[in-house]
Copies of this chain bind each other. A is one copy, B any other.
Amino acid sequence: MVGYKFMGKAHSHAYKDVGMFFDLEAGVAMKAICGRDEQGVQEAAEKFGWESYETDWRKLVAREDIDFIDINAPSDAHKEIALAAIANGKHVFCEKPLALNLQDAREMLAAAEAAGVKHAICFNYRFLPAVQLAKKIIDSGKLGEIHHYRATYLQDWLVDPEAPLAWRLKKEVAGSGTHGDLNAHSIDLARFLIGEFDRVVGHSRTFVKERPLPVSTSGLSGTGSSEKGEVTVDDATGFLADFKNGAMGVFIASRFASGRKNGNTFEIHGSKGTIRWDLERLNELEVYFREDEPELAGFRKILATESVHKYAANWWPAGHIIGYEHGFVHIVYEFLQHMSTGSPFAPTFLDGVRCQEVLEAVDLSIERGTWVSVEEV
């Protein structure tokens, strides 16, 4: 695994716990974790339970005792590491975004396909029980023809103008800001749930254009110095979408939504019903069915913790909720099974590319002030 910060911790936890709650065809051995700062990575290795550590990812991807590489380093490093890992025949599990731009993402997909390795992009929210239930309901036809898709991904950690200029706010490292970080998740969920995008039109803002340079970083924010630097990514991006199936969509992402901590939501209206979900209450799915008796129809709040709900039986009895990190355990479980048994798996690098196409079409639409067809990018 390359990377040992927020995502490194979430992924490590998944590898550590997956075997305890799921029956794996082949087990999982946590061979090595890699990071540039020796002290940091050594501590992480010990704390997270890795057998060894490396400070040079080139060494890591060359190790013979390693079958697959998990990449959760900052976004600008994804491509180079992934291509090297693929060249060595390793399977690759990559954090989103796949790359800094669409061209790089396509190159990675082509390399992985040519090499015949297994590849995954970590769109972890697909793997929450309530989201799986949403997918199942839609696929079963219970929602009918889809008319509307509305998504938000709202956080508020940048509302404070004194929040420092973290790497996620520099375009050259992060590739994109709120759009690439948050809308990426919403776009993937929309593709997963109702299908492909046709065209988009958007707008964006950088509300605070200069921020204190970071002194130390801890978590997402850290403390800032008195010197300031330019914010080179967006604070918020919203866009309208037409889907290929005729549905209307709208997507809003912001890091300036006071009080919304992790407001990754979707609401989908179909000819037979409606579905709503919110990551802040990730165990719940709200569903309305028009076919319910008129007097008794209403939004149902389904607590997706029953043994009949996907993955739920692997954890606790009904009503004992799971948390954010469980999505990583589930995606890791599915990818491990995929590698060892060839069971079907998505999202792959292809989904990373498709997501990137929508992101870039939105950027282009903002530049042009018009609708842009996703096929154009």
**Interface assignment of A167: CB less than 8 Å from any CB of chain B:** no
List of B residues within 8 angstroms of A261 by Cβ: 303, 305-306, 318-319
User: Which listed residue (B250, B258, B306) contacts A294, Cβ 8 A?
Assistant: B306
User: Which listed residue (B19, B137, B207, B324) contacts A322, Cβ 8 A?
Assistant: B324
CB interface residues, A 310-353, toward B, < 8 Å: 313, 315-326
Structural contact, A13 and B6, CB atoms closer than 8 A: no
Structural contact, B282 and A321, CB atoms closer than 8 A: yes
List of B residues within 8 angstroms of A157 by Cβ: 317-318
Structural contact, A16 and B19, CB atoms closer than 8 A: no
Least Cβ–Cβ distance between A133 and chain B, in angstroms = 7
Interface size, chain A (Cβ < 8 Å):
97
**Interface assignment of A263: CB less than 8 Å from any CB of chain B:** yes
**Interface assignment of A271: CB less than 8 Å from any CB of chain B:** yes
**Interface assignment of A201: CB less than 8 Å from any CB of chain B:** yes
List of B residues within 8 angstroms of A150 by Cβ: 152, 252
Asked, given contacts A290-B159, A317-B219, whether A254 binds B303 with beta carbons under 8 Å apart, the answer is no
User: Which listed residue (B136, B252, B298, B322) contacts A323, Cβ 8 A?
Assistant: B322
What CA separation (Å) do A47 and B137 show in the bound complex? 33
Asked, given contacts A13-B17, A300-B297, A320-B323, whether A258 binds B238 with beta carbons under 8 Å apart, the answer is no
Least Cβ–Cβ distance between A277 and chain B, in angstroms = 13
Least Cβ–Cβ distance between A148 and chain B, in angstroms = 6
List of B residues within 8 angstroms of A202 by Cβ: 240
Structural contact, A205 and B147, CB atoms closer than 8 A: yes
**Interface assignment of A176: CB less than 8 Å from any CB of chain B:** no
**Interface assignment of A20: CB less than 8 Å from any CB of chain B:** yes
**Interface assignment of A280: CB less than 8 Å from any CB of chain B:** yes
Structural contact, B259 and A274, CB atoms closer than 8 A: yes
Structural contact, A269 and B258, CB atoms closer than 8 A: yes
Name A's B-contacting residues (CB within 8 A). Answer: 6, 9-10, 12-13, 16-17, 19-20, 47-49, 133, 136-137, 147-148, 150, 152, 154-157, 159-160, 201-203, 205, 207, 219-220, 236, 238-240, 242, 246, 248, 250, 252, 254, 256-263, 269-274, 279-282, 285-288, 290, 292, 294-303, 305-309, 313, 315-326, 369-371
Instruction: Offer 20 A-B interface pairs, CB within 8 angstroms, sorted by A.
Output: A9-B20, A16-B17, A16-B20, A147-B254, A148-B254, A201-B371, A205-B246, A205-B248, A250-B250, A254-B269, A258-B272, A258-B274, A258-B290, A259-B299, A261-B305, A262-B320, A263-B319, A279-B319, A281-B281, A299-B300
Having A147-B236, A147-B256, A262-B321, one finds 8 other A-B pairs with CB under 8 Å, namely: A219-B307, A257-B274, A261-B305, A286-B298, A295-B308, A296-B300, A297-B302, A315-B323
